[in-house]
């Protein structure tokens, strides 16, 4: 009986994979890194350097490696994909059909660095196993509940109709956070949650009654917080000045790949490396990151009408002790306090007994969230086919 679900998360130069069993427990995980360069494939604990010129080639290596671990593509129940951008119409998980694939392709102008790679994975699976059901979960979908005043720029309506609006990202992480809250905290989900997904990409989300009502990323993942290599918010006229002086492509590369922690520190996009450096420039870089997280947190609290809990997730959020402490120190006005002993060991609960606002860590769980979507949609698909 086919029970296993394969989840693929295709990025610009990597493909993450996780195999879940019927109970959605992880059987196997891995990643193909540096696709198109000095590529490596890790499956479980095994790491090998392999030639992978493109995503299609990487997927062939992944499927061969999975087969050697007893996971054959034609023996799977389904494959689920993280798709970065679903636009204004793909606001819930979908079984991939020709029409849905066409809608994902239509969103390529909104996510030119991501959706083409997501489609490459979908197409290669379809080529190798055409009868295998595939499903897509969209990183933008969780924010479909944002009100119009939160998503519209102050532009003429015809520009919004052409897709120039705020979408928001990291939705699968936020959706998983809501799902996992009761198990991690043993408490009901509070009414107003400030969720902080802090990693190489970073954003905040205002979650009221379990739904997103505001988020810091916008038309693209460039907006909002200081990130690993992205600048976050910047005056549009400053961007136009850069385009005049440096040209469009150089400006695009600077804002997306040469700014953020890397640009400020002049050293690294990795928060650990910046913290270990200890130079005045590195200290300022961390202060800048924490300041803008806290400043945007005020905006999220305003969107929710207050704040009952703060949650950290993502690589920085889950592991950077000093960064969490500095952010919460900025947010004392919200009633947030952090227990230094709990913070030092990265306990799930970070606040003390007398804190008015709970502070928590909930590990990012995007792949399992996609697997939940696949299991639910797959069951509905099978039930419908039997009618």
Judge whether 292 and 203 are in contact, CB under 8 Å: no
Judge whether 150 and 206 are in contact, CB under 8 Å: no
Q: How far apart are the first and last CA of the chain?
A: 21
Same domain for 133 and 220, yes or no, is: no
Strand ranges inside the chain, DSSP E? 5-10, 15-20, 26-33, 40-43, 46-49, 78-83, 94-95, 134-138, 192-198, 202-208, 211-215, 309-313, 358-361
DSSP 188: P
Q: Which two tokens mark 80? A: 């689920």
Does 337 appear as a known binding residue? no
For residue 113, what pLDDT is reported? 79
Same domain for 198 and 340, yes or no, is: yes
For residue 382, what pLDDT is reported? 60
Same domain for 85 and 15, yes or no, is: yes
For residue 114, what pLDDT is reported? 86
Same domain for 131 and 243, yes or no, is: no
Same domain for 128 and 194, yes or no, is: no
Does 16 appear as a known binding residue? yes
Same domain for 33 and 116, yes or no, is: yes
Same domain for 130 and 197, yes or no, is: no
Does 270 appear as a known binding residue? yes
Residue 376 lies in a domain: no
Pairing of strands 211-215, 192-198: unpaired
For residue 63, what pLDDT is reported? 93
Q: Which domain holds residue 311?
A: 182-366
Does 25 appear as a known binding residue? no
Of 73, 104, 138, the domain-final residue: 138
Query: In 10 A of CB 287, how many CB atoms?
Result: 12
Does 201 appear as a known binding residue? yes
Does 272 appear as a known binding residue? yes
Does 118 appear as a known binding residue? no
- For residues 38 and 45, give the distance between their C-alpha atoms in angstroms, rounded to a whole number: 19
Residue 62 lies in a domain: yes
Judge whether 242 and 251 are in contact, CB under 8 Å: yes
Of 83, 118, 138, the domain-final residue: 138
Does 200 appear as a known binding residue? yes
Angle at the Cα of 382 from the Cα atoms of 20 and 28, rounded to 5 degrees: 10
List CB contacts of 298: < 8 A, sequence separation 6 or more.
Answer: none
Same domain for 207 and 343, yes or no, is: yes
Does 316 appear as a known binding residue? yes
Residue 143 lies in a domain: no
For residue 387, what pLDDT is reported? 43
Residue 252 lies in a domain: yes
Residue 270 lies in a domain: yes
List CB contacts of 290: < 8 A, sequence separation 6 or more.
Answer: 323, 326, 327, 330
| CA 301, 306, 310, 314 torsion-angle sign | negative
Order of strands across the sheet that contains 134-138: 46-49, 40-43, 26-33, 15-20, 5-10, 78-83, 134-138, 94-95
**171: nearest Cα among 200, 147, 133, 207:** 207
| Residue whose entry in the numeric block shows the structure tokens 């639910």 | 376
| Residue whose entry in the numeric block shows the structure tokens 């947030």 | 336
CATH number at residue 70: 3.30.420.40
pLDDT in tens, 231-261: 999 999 999 999 999 999 999 999 999 999 9
State the total domains in the chain: 2
Of 112, 138, 164, the domain-final residue: 138
Same domain for 196 and 133, yes or no, is: no
Q: Please state, in angstroms and as integers, the Cα–Cα distance from residue 236 to each residue in 130, 164, 216, 297, following that order.
A: 46, 14, 16, 22
Same domain for 265 and 341, yes or no, is: yes
Judge whether 228 and 201 are in contact, CB under 8 Å: yes
Residue 96 lies in a domain: yes
Angle at the Cα of 115 from the Cα atoms of 109 and 120, rounded to 5 degrees: 130
pLDDT in tens, 164-184: 999 999 999 999 999 999 999
Same domain for 232 and 322, yes or no, is: yes
* Active-site residue list: 139
Residue 150 lies in a domain: no
Same domain for 227 and 298, yes or no, is: yes
For residue 386, what pLDDT is reported? 45
Residue 171 lies in a domain: no
Does 227 appear as a known binding residue? no
**133: nearest Cα among 385, 384, 374, 387:** 374
Spans in the chain with pLDDT lower than 50: 386-387
Number of residues that this document lists for the chain? 387
Q: Which two tokens mark 363? A: 């590990």
Query: In 10 A of CB 151, how many CB atoms?
Result: 19
């Amino acid at each position: 009986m086919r029970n296993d679900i394969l989840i693929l998360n295709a990025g610009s130069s990597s493909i993450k994979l996780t195999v879940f069993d019927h109970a959605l427990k992880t059987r196997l995980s891995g990643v193909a890194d540096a696709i198109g360069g000095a590529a490596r494939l890790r499956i479980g604990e095994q790491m090998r350097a392999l030639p992978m010129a493109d995503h299609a080639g990487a997927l062939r290596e992944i499927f061969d490696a999975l087969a050697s671990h007893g996971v054959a593509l034609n023996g799977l129940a389904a494959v689920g994909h993280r798709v970065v951008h679903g636009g204004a119409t793909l606001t819930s998980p979908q079984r991939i059909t020709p029409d849905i694939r066409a809608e994902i392709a239509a969103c390529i102008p909104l996510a030119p660095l991501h959706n083409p790679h997501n489609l490459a994975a979908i197409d290669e699976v379809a080529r190798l196993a055409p009868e295998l059901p595939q499903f897509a979960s969209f990183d933008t979908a969780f924010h479909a509940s944002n009100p119009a005043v939160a998503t519209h720029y102050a532009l003429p309506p015809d520009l919004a109709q052409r897709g120039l609006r705020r979408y928001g990202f990291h939705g699968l992480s936020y959706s998983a956070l809501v799902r996992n809250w009761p198990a991690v905290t043993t408490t009901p989900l509070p009414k107003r949650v400030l969720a902080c997904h802090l990693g190489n990409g970073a954003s905040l989300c205002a979650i009221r009654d379990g739904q997103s009502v505001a988020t810091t990323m916008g038309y693209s993942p460039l907006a909002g917080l200081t990130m690993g290599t992205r600048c976050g918010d910047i005056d549009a006229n400053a961007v136009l000045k850069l385009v005049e002086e440096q040209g469009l492509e150089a400006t695009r590369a600077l804002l997306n790949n040469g700014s953020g922690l890397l640009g400020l520190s002049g050293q690294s996009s990795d928060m650990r490396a910046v913290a270990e450096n200890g130079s005045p420039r590195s200290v300022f870089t961390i202060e800048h990151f924490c300041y803008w997280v806290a400043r945007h947190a005020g905006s999220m609290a305003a969107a929710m009408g207050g704040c009952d809990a703060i949650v950290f997730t993502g690589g920085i959020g889950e592991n950077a002790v000093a960064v969490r402490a500095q952010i919460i120190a900025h947010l004392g006005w919200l009633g947030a306090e952090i227990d230094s002993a709990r913070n030092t060991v990265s306990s799930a609960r970070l606040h003390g007994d007398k804190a008015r606002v709970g502070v928590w860590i909930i590990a990012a769980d995007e792949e399992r969230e996609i697997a939940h979507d696949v299991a639910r949609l797959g069951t509905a698909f099978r039930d419908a086919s039997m009618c």
